[in-house]
Amino acid sequence: MKVQPIADIEQKPVDMPGATKTKMRMLVGPADGARNFHMRQFEVEPGGHTPHHQHDYEHEILILSGRGVAMSESGERPFRAGDVIWVPPNEMHQFRNTGDEALRFICLIPAPKDCTK
């Protein structure tokens, strides 16, 4: 079992093309022996965004703080702290911080997938 403050986990810039002002922490992942799911925390500064991308697996997102818009093939959907987002496989998507504070969210993906490379 792992119990650890999020602040103690190293935060790294997301270096995927198209990402700006975005950092990630791997909260639970390969180093922990997680075989089914990986849990990550993203932080997007005001005006920043994740890359516009797609992948062959779904992922689940919980918005912890801030607000923004989720861009997808069907248009823009606003979100805020307390909202959940489900992204189906192969759907183009991007998350933009439209607020004046950091956007923080938890993202779950199936192991051993990694959409940050």
pTM, rounded to two decimals: 0.93
User: What is the three-class DSSP state of 32?
Assistant: helix
Single out the catalytic residue among 19, 103, 107, 109. 107
- Residue 115 is a catalytic residue: no
Band the pLDDT of 112: cuts 50, 70, 90. Answer: confident
Tell me the domains of the chain and their CATH numbers.
34-117 (2.60.120.10)
Beta carbons of 87 and 61 less than 8 angstroms apart: yes
Give per-residue pLDDT as tens, 36-93: 999 999 999 999 999 999 999 999 999 999 999 999 988 999 999 999 999 999 999 9
What is the DSSP pairing of strand 103-110 with strand 75-80?
unpaired
What is the DSSP pairing of strand 37-49 with strand 103-110?
antiparallel
User: What is the three-class DSSP state of 71?
Assistant: strand
